[in-house]
Structure 1
Amino acid sequence: MDDAADTATGQDRRVAALVIGAGPAGLMAAEALARAGLSVLLAEAKPSPGRKLLMAGKSGLNLTKDEPAETFLAQYEEAAGPLAPMLRAFGPAEVAAWAEGLGQPVFTGSSGRVFPRAMKASPLLRAWLARLDAAGVRLETRWRWAGWRGESAVFQTSSGPVSVLADVTVLALGGASWARLGSDGAWADTLRAEGAAVAPFRPANVGLRVEWSSHMARQFGQPVKGVALCAGGRQVRGEFVVSRRGLEGGAIYALSRPLREGAPLIVDLMPNRTEAEIAERLARPRGKASLTAHLRKTLRLQGPRLALLYECARPLPQGAALAARIKALAVPHGGPRPLDEAISTAGGVDWAGLDAGLMLTARPGVFCAGEMLDWEAPTGGYLLTACLATGRWAGQAAARRQAALAR
């Protein structure tokens, strides 16, 4: 269909394909639809596209993770089943090739994480938008989706309400974190009203609230390295940062699910030594040295690790009991930080309400992609890869439906 007049003349704009949301999933859906030869209107509520992508790239844009397919898929837990065909079709190797096709060479770090050599997201986003523009994708910003009126999608824009009648629509509206960047979850009630099941949003990849004593103030901003963490039977090695409001960082984010479900956080301050080895070192004569000095000398336990021990185990026990605390330090916490502070969210459109092409069974012709689907994964490239993969999958399925309708 060609574009026609808008609601200013009492008519809908008509397009073959409408994509709502210009984050990674929406941009990828638009690209898939344009490749299929469809005219595509891409609507974004914010003044510019890809805002969360740009924020993610401020500390180095982690595109994906180079690891075996089964290891990669396992990071998505119960959502790995429905996501599997999408991630097999567009997984780590395909993401890297896609970025290089945009003129952004990539490299793989020692941990397997894949980054563009430029590290930033802005060069990749500029190249991507240029390619979409050349393919005929029309981007409209400051268009906030307000649901449907009949078959037409309704938008509030700076020039007044606009409605769009599309053969197919892909929703890529994000989760419910970082509302200032565009993901506010406001779409959930609209879809529920249409009969779609939407699981409640929950914070994922989020900091942990801890009420510190004044003694911890000097540790704020300090990384805690060389430790292992356990929550809810899940164990990770990594590092985290002591902040004024609690704990932040990759090792904490990896345990988001059990921690938000109320599991205690247990930290092994010396994972490379057994409890018996620590007890033996603690038993060495210390003379007139203080316990703090003894811990530093015999175990090299100092800085934020030592501060955590005093904070969470005071008064410190002696001998074997102290060794046991060092190996399994319980850190009292108040659960995750608020939803809007999370890097990502769990919850969203229930898989049972989608067909194999990510089309809503409650609203045929409307597809969903990205973080608005009910899945979660740790940071490390998994989030972006799944957003790209589901956007591509939904866009391709929508193109096939439009082609069938046009016959």
Structure 2
Amino acid sequence: MLPSESKDTNNVAIIGAGPAGLMAAEVLAQGGVDVTVYDAMPSIGRKLLMAGRGGLNLTHSEPLDAFLPRYREAAPKLAAVVEAFPPERLRAWCEELGQSTFVGSSGRIFPKVLKASPLLRAWLRRLDTSGVQFALRHRWTGWDDKGRLLFQTPEGEKAVEAPATVLALGGASWPRLGSDGGWAETLMAKGVKISPLKSANCGFKVAWLDIFRDRFEGQPLKGIGLSFGGRSVRGEAVITRDGIEGGAVYALSAELREAVLASGRATLHIALRPDVKPRDLITRLSVPRGKQTFTNWLRKAAQLSPMAIGLLQEPAFASGVALASMSPEALATLINAVPVRLTGVASIARAISSAGGVDFDELDGEFMLRRLPGVFAAGEMLDWEAPTGGYLLQACFATGAAAGKGALKWLESVIPG
């Protein structure tokens, strides 16, 4: 059966209704272009709404010279677009939508209402006023032999002829929200280089002792320090049934992931009392135990929670050395450098974001795919990653704006008049 022809022929096609796609649509509509946004899901901005469940962290307030290195190897590729659409511009854009923002104690920037839904509703109203159309439940499957976009819809396959296309299909994390990475094979078939999609801002697998896992699963480790590969961070972590996750873990996840993928394991060190000087900790641990149980004495002397003491038992059990037999010096060292052996990377389906994607060398300066004239790419489907803290959304908004501007410029060059 031949695909039906879309009524939206000659509208610029935006594929993906997340922040990058919607921003590209806004830029194009403001440039006087007719736009249709296609998405496989039945509603818009699902991952954005998910990100806002605990407070929508839009961006960060730190200066750009500190901000840009957060994008690691991709920083030189993203510098120009983030500088063109910086955090200050994103905050002003929110204000224009009637959603004022504030800087939190950590420097992160949030809408004052914290949630994503009021911002998304205001944005969709503006896009509707600008004439942007939406076609939901349209899953993009590639192109036909006439160069038309193909979509699977509830009514069957549909072919769409578009003068330009912006792909903003997301990475592969949280696929139930719409970004499943299925686009990668389609683009690779066209010769586009795609770096493998991998978990980012993710947890890791640990073979906990049954007694520790059963007792402490789901509980947080607060006020800790984590270190790996010469980097140290402070924050919190959560013990999961098969591993460890949380903000401090995510901050080191890129380095940890690469180590685990390279050798099958990595050792993360946890400081349970990072604010206590080694000498002071040794002094506390030199106090006679008396008639107290070792666990109760350790809890009081080092001010450790039952879960922290349980965590100390993990390497002690593995080495066959009882904690009670350790010297104050050795115990103090262990408390602030508990080795946790990571044996795997958590599934990308549970990762906050993903690394990998369209290689930047495949894009020209306007974010157009060199092998596919008139096709632009933006957002998390590009090969970059960043920690949580507002950097993820900032780059999605900025690359969406850049792709929209690039598409406008390209249309001006190919459409007479």
Corresponding residue number in structure 2 for 1:66: 61
Comparing 133-142 with 113-122, greater Cα deviation is found at 113-122
Evaluate the alpha carbon distance shift between residue 85 and residue 402 of structure 1 in structure 2; reply closer, same or farther with a 3 A threshold. same
1:53 to 33, 48, 55: 48
Q: Counterpart amino acid of 1:370?
A: G
1:131 and 2:126 equivalent? yes
1:324 and 2:319 equivalent? no
Q: Secondary structure at the match of 1:385?
A: helix
Corresponding residue number in structure 1 for 2:365: 356
Structure 1: distance between partners of 2:303 and 2:187: 56
- CA-to-partner distance for each residue in 1:243-263, whole Å, 9 max, x for gaps? 223212110111111221223
1:371 and 2:366 equivalent? no
Q: Show the 5 A alignment for 1:121-270.
A: 121-149=116-144, 150-216=146-212, 217-261=214-258, 262=260, 263-270=266-273
Q: Show the 5 A alignment for 1:302-313.
A: 302-313=305-316
Whether the aligned pair in 2 keeps the contact of 1:62 and 1:380 (CA below 8 Å) is: yes
Whether the aligned pair in 1 keeps the contact of 2:8 and 2:36 (CA below 8 Å) is: no
Q: Show the 5 A alignment for 1:293-304.
A: 293-304=296-307
Corresponding residue number in structure 1 for 2:99: 104
1:17 and 2:26 equivalent? no
1:385 and 2:394 equivalent? yes
Q: Secondary structure at the match of 1:163?
A: strand
1:118 and 2:118 equivalent? no
Whether the aligned pair in 1 keeps the contact of 2:299 and 2:306 (CA below 8 Å) is: no
Q: Secondary structure at the match of 1:287?
A: coil
Structure 2: distance between partners of 1:302 and 1:7: 63
The percentage of counterpart residues that share the same residue type is 52
Structure 2: distance between partners of 1:96 and 1:335: 38
Structure 1: distance between partners of 2:193 and 2:89: 31
Shift of 1:13: 4.5
Corresponding residue number in structure 1 for 2:263: none
Structure 2: distance between partners of 1:313 and 1:399: 63
Whether the aligned pair in 2 keeps the contact of 1:256 and 1:336 (CA below 8 Å) is: no
Corresponding residue number in structure 1 for 2:285: 282
Shift of 1:66: 0.9
Whether the aligned pair in 1 keeps the contact of 2:6 and 2:158 (CA below 8 Å) is: no
Tell me how many residue pairs correspond in the alignment. Answer: 401
Tell me the C-alpha RMSD between the 2 structures: 1.6
Evaluate the alpha carbon distance shift between residue 29 and residue 231 of structure 1 in structure 2; reply closer, same or farther with a 3 A threshold. same
Shift of 1:109: 0.8
Structure 2: distance between partners of 1:167 and 1:282: 72
Structure 2: distance between partners of 1:65 and 1:57: 15
Shift of 1:12: 7.7
Whether the aligned pair in 2 keeps the contact of 1:203 and 1:338 (CA below 8 Å) is: yes
- CA-to-partner distance for each residue in 1:45-79, whole Å, 9 max, x for gaps? 10011010111111111111111111111111110
Corresponding residue number in structure 2 for 1:335: 344
| Structure 1 unmatched ranges of 5 or more | 1-5
Shift of 1:116: 1.0
Shift of 1:303: 3.3
Shift of 1:270: 1.4
Whether the aligned pair in 2 keeps the contact of 1:15 and 1:41 (CA below 8 Å) is: no
Shift of 1:306: 2.1
Whether the aligned pair in 2 keeps the contact of 1:221 and 1:243 (CA below 8 Å) is: yes
Q: Counterpart amino acid of 1:193?
A: A
Shift of 1:20: 0.4
TM-score (norm 1): 0.95
Structure 2: distance between partners of 1:369 and 1:236: 30
Structure 1: distance between partners of 2:155 and 2:99: 37
Q: Counterpart amino acid of 2:195?
A: A
Q: Counterpart amino acid of 2:395?
A: A
Structure 1: distance between partners of 2:8 and 2:21: 20
Q: Counterpart amino acid of 2:127?
A: L
Structure 2: distance between partners of 1:241 and 1:42: 38
Shift of 1:7: 5.3
Corresponding residue number in structure 2 for 1:3: none
- CA-to-partner distance for each residue in 1:255-278, whole Å, 9 max, x for gaps? 111221223111111111232321
Structure 2: distance between partners of 1:73 and 1:367: 23
Whether the aligned pair in 2 keeps the contact of 1:313 and 1:325 (CA below 8 Å) is: no
Shift of 1:11: 7.4
